[in-house]
Structure 1
Amino acid sequence: MFSKACEYGIRAIIYIATESLENRRVKIGDVAENTGSPEAFTAKVLGLLTRHRIVHSLKGPYGGFEIGVARMKEVRLSDIVFAIDGDSIYRGCALGLSECNAAEPCPMHEKFVKVRSELKKMLENTTVHDLATKLQAGESILIR
């Protein structure tokens, strides 16, 4: 459903947030290792998320990535998805047709409209803090 970049971005932000809850900044290598994503790709995605002010980056020997608790509570999954993939997830056709609408629907259009609506609601109502605290409590995992 999400692009690989978006999947890696969401996992990276959750890991960074979990570490930030412990007042630790993390390096790109740590993020990649603990999320199962390629380091170069992780760096590119985190650069994008830094430019969108979703995560904060500090340079230097004591630098790394972090996100404050207040920011974690503000940032929603929809913000991350939009920063990386735009809004195509809310508009695209389930079958990948270039155009799909109620006037000229694909065979899955009506069912997919409902799925997209529920997905949008979930993404807009889930914060980074929600997911980081679940990971921190051992209720979820980021890597297998």
Structure 2
Amino acid sequence: MFSKACEYGIRASIFIAKNSFEGKRVSPKEISEEINSPQAFTAKILQALVRHDIIKSVKGAYGGFEIDKDVISSIKLAYIVEAIDGDSIYSGCGLGLDKCDENHPCPVHNKFKEIRDGLKHMLETTNLEELALDIKTGIAFLKT
């Protein structure tokens, strides 16, 4: 459903948020190791997240990536998805057809619309704080 870059972007953002709650900045290497993604690919994803003001990059000896604690709860998953994949996830065809809409639907158009609408709702109502806290408390995991 999400691109690989978007999956990594979501995982990286959750990991950064978890560490930001603890007052820690994390390096690209730590992030790529934690989310099991190639370091160069992770660096590109992190740049996109910085450009969209989702995470902050701090340069220097004590640098790394962080998110201000007071904004973690306001960052919705939808912002991350849009920063990496755009909004095509909300309009793409369930069968991958180029032309699929209300006037020219594919066989699964109406059923898939319900799924897309539910996904959009989940992404717009889920924030990084709740996901980071689930990781911190051990309720959820980023690695297998």
TM-score for the superposition, normalised by structure 2: 0.98
Give the corresponding residue for 1:86: 86
Q: Describe how 1:99-110 pairs up with structure 2 within 5 A.
A: 99-110=99-110
What secondary structure is seen at the aligned counterpart in 1 of 2:119? helix
What secondary structure is seen at the aligned counterpart in 2 of 1:131? helix
Alpha-carbon distance, 1:71 to partner: 1.4
Whole-angstrom CA distance in 2 between matches of 1:38 and 1:71: 28
Alpha-carbon distance, 1:103 to partner: 1.5
Whole-angstrom CA distance in 2 between matches of 1:117 and 1:94: 13
What secondary structure is seen at the aligned counterpart in 2 of 1:16? helix
Whole-angstrom CA distance in 2 between matches of 1:45 and 1:30: 14
Give the corresponding residue for 1:112: 112
Alpha-carbon distance, 1:99 to partner: 1.1
Give the corresponding residue for 2:44: 44
Whole-angstrom CA distance in 2 between matches of 1:77 and 1:95: 24
| Ranges in structure 2 where 5+ consecutive residues have no aligned partner | none
- Where do 4+ consecutive residues of structure 1 move more than 2 Å? none
**Residues 69-106 of structure 1: CA deviation (Å, up to 9, x unaligned):** 22111110000000000000000001111110122110
Whole-angstrom CA distance in 1 between matches of 2:143 and 2:46: 18
Alpha-carbon distance, 1:26 to partner: 0.3
Alpha-carbon distance, 1:143 to partner: 1.0
Amino acid aligned to 1:44: K
Give the corresponding residue for 1:64: 64
Amino acid aligned to 2:45: V
Equivalent pairs, count:
144
**Residues 12-41 of structure 1: CA deviation (Å, up to 9, x unaligned):** 000001011110000000000011111111
Whole-angstrom CA distance in 2 between matches of 1:60 and 1:25: 11
TM-score for the superposition, normalised by structure 1: 0.98
What secondary structure is seen at the aligned counterpart in 1 of 2:100? coil
Whole-angstrom CA distance in 2 between matches of 1:18 and 1:99: 41
CA RMSD of aligned residues (A): 0.6
Give the corresponding residue for 1:123: 123
Whole-angstrom CA distance in 2 between matches of 1:127 and 1:37: 22
Amino acid aligned to 1:12: A
